Chains A and B, each alone.
Chain A
């Protein structure tokens, strides 16, 4: 076990189609925000961690070199972490490792994406090798549709019930997004609008899918000594977990999804969490697709397998529910991929320090942040506490 690690601040950009700035300028917006929000001077950081989607997305291979100036990294050690969709949580875990190891006291962690400049689904195609899986992996919707069907079939959940729960989730999150100043898509949706939206890949319809967002997120990780010296409201890292699966998509089951189960279990064990639904006050679950959010509830032990739809419809995971999930609107409303996981960590940190503003869950003291990457291959979880 390493030294205690605190998150002393975060900065998020406005999200959307950000052709008003160059890519480094977008990163700068988040970096400037975290220094402004904390009053910390860039000179005081010991190192920088930077990450994005795989470079096929960016069109520039060495992104941390491209961003070196705006990352304030000149003359300092810099690391790049890249695990596809889970990049953001991997970035946070990298920052955590660096501080926990005792080799740094203050580390800047930055995730970014300009999805509108590249082609996210073409990038997804290149995530796999060219002689077998590339023929069959049709972007993220293709992968997640298959997973959803495997899940609903495995547990015999009726199609209309899955639809009803997914509709509830997307309506709730798009409402929640109005209270998050950084959210990209904010919309009052009706059930009819959601249920009759065009099919992307059956059974997934338009409002079940996250948008393409441009944005960046910056965070500062600090040692206990540094956090005390700074005297800022701090979220403490109580647990981390990360787990991966075999490369071949067909090698592992995606309904009882072992890497998601294991990532959560590692983090819970470290944080001493026995009953996550009771003990957690808020969860920022990575939800690029409505259906996948429900699968995570089950893999993370928020409920039993096959139960998520019923509990969603009872409101257990909504803003006023027993365990509010994604009060920020989540990935479903804002998805700058390389930053998305870090946004989850930033949002959980805001919640447990009482700084989430209009979407604050009253009295939140223990939160979960999560992200997923690869072809349903990697899951990362971080538990944050107020002390």
Chain B
């Protein structure tokens, strides 16, 4: 039924460069990472501590002007081991993406779990559990990006 290869196919690629402005909040958040600090913000209306830092609360839509340094330890809410690579993916597999509830905050912080061998999925499954405690491990060479945190690593 398939008539594949009967008709011509061309290849095409679209590549467009972008300049992306951080604005004041992201600039300050990433400066914080450079100094090994994770900044969140407290919404004065719902009292939630949101991380990463915000200039407004997405639920109350009130302006937020504070920056609060949050704990670098937290609890794993969920995780996924990625072993394949998609085109344009900035993080090279294998890696473990995870939602981490940093202590004292009210939302989940998306980052990596690492610090041990990821080559064997069965091993990873034994090692990583929802509810486990993890803490941030920093890169020596910090560039003011989200990857200044190398990953979160299990707390012994």
| Nearest neighbor of A124 in chain B, beta-carbon distance | B86
Contact of A249 with B78 in the complex, beta carbons under 8 Å:
no
Contact with B along A126-148 (1 / 0, CB 8 A): 10011111111111011001110
Contact of A20 with B3 in the complex, beta carbons under 8 Å:
yes
A59-B14, A142-B80, A201-B80 known; A136 vs B2 contact (CB < 8 Å):
no
Residues of A within 8 A of B77 (CB): 150
| Nearest neighbor of B82 in chain A, beta-carbon distance | A138
B69 to chain A, nearest CB (A): 18
Complex Cα gap A145–B12 (Å): 32
Residues of A within 8 A of B121 (CB): 199, 202
A19 at the interface (CB under 8 A from B): yes
Residues of B within 8 A of A134 (CB): 90
Residues of A within 8 A of B147 (CB): 135
Complex Cα gap A131–B30 (Å): 10
Residues of B within 8 A of A14 (CB): 1
Complex Cα gap A344–B69 (Å): 46
| Nearest neighbor of A247 in chain B, beta-carbon distance | B58
A251 at the interface (CB under 8 A from B): yes
Contact of B2 with A135 in the complex, beta carbons under 8 Å:
no
B38 at the interface (CB under 8 A from A): no
A131-B22, A136-B91, A146-B80 known; A250 vs B7 contact (CB < 8 Å):
no
Contact of B107 with A59 in the complex, beta carbons under 8 Å:
no
| Nearest neighbor of B58 in chain A, beta-carbon distance | A246
A125 at the interface (CB under 8 A from B): yes
Contact of B86 with A121 in the complex, beta carbons under 8 Å:
yes
Q: Which of A131, A138, A141 contacts B20 (CB under 8 A)?
A: A131
Contact with A along B83-96 (1 / 0, CB 8 A): 11011111101010
Contact of A146 with B86 in the complex, beta carbons under 8 Å:
no
Within 10-57 of B, Cβ neighbours of A (below 8 Å) are at 12, 14, 18, 20, 22, 26, 30, 50, 52
Contact of A145 with B146 in the complex, beta carbons under 8 Å:
no
Within 93-144 of A, Cβ neighbours of B (below 8 Å) are at 119, 121-122, 124-126, 129-139, 141-142
Contact of B78 with A147 in the complex, beta carbons under 8 Å:
yes
Contact of B2 with A20 in the complex, beta carbons under 8 Å:
yes
Contact of A131 with B80 in the complex, beta carbons under 8 Å:
no
A138-B89, A248-B107 known; A149 vs B50 contact (CB < 8 Å):
no
B125 at the interface (CB under 8 A from A): yes
Complex Cα gap A149–B80 (Å): 8
Complex Cα gap A59–B95 (Å): 29
B95 to chain A, nearest CB (A): 8
Contact of A202 with B80 in the complex, beta carbons under 8 Å:
yes
Contact of B4 with A19 in the complex, beta carbons under 8 Å:
yes
List residues of B whose CB falls within 8 A of some A CB: 1-7, 9, 12, 14, 18, 20, 22, 26, 30, 50, 52, 58-59, 77-84, 86-91, 93, 95, 97-99, 107-112, 121, 124-125, 130-131, 145-147
Pairs of residues from A and B, 9 with the lowest C-beta to C-beta distance, nearest first: A250-B108, A20-B3, A122-B87, A150-B78, A138-B82, A145-B80, A121-B86, A153-B130, A149-B78
**Apart from A132-B52, A136-B91, A150-B78: 17 A-B pairs, beta carbons within 8 A:** A14-B1, A19-B4, A20-B4, A131-B26, A134-B90, A135-B91, A136-B111, A141-B80, A142-B82, A146-B97, A149-B79, A149-B80, A202-B80, A246-B58, A248-B110, A249-B110, A250-B110
9 interchain pairs (CB within 8 A)? Answer: A19-B5, A59-B12, A130-B90, A131-B26, A132-B146, A153-B130, A153-B131, A202-B121, A250-B107
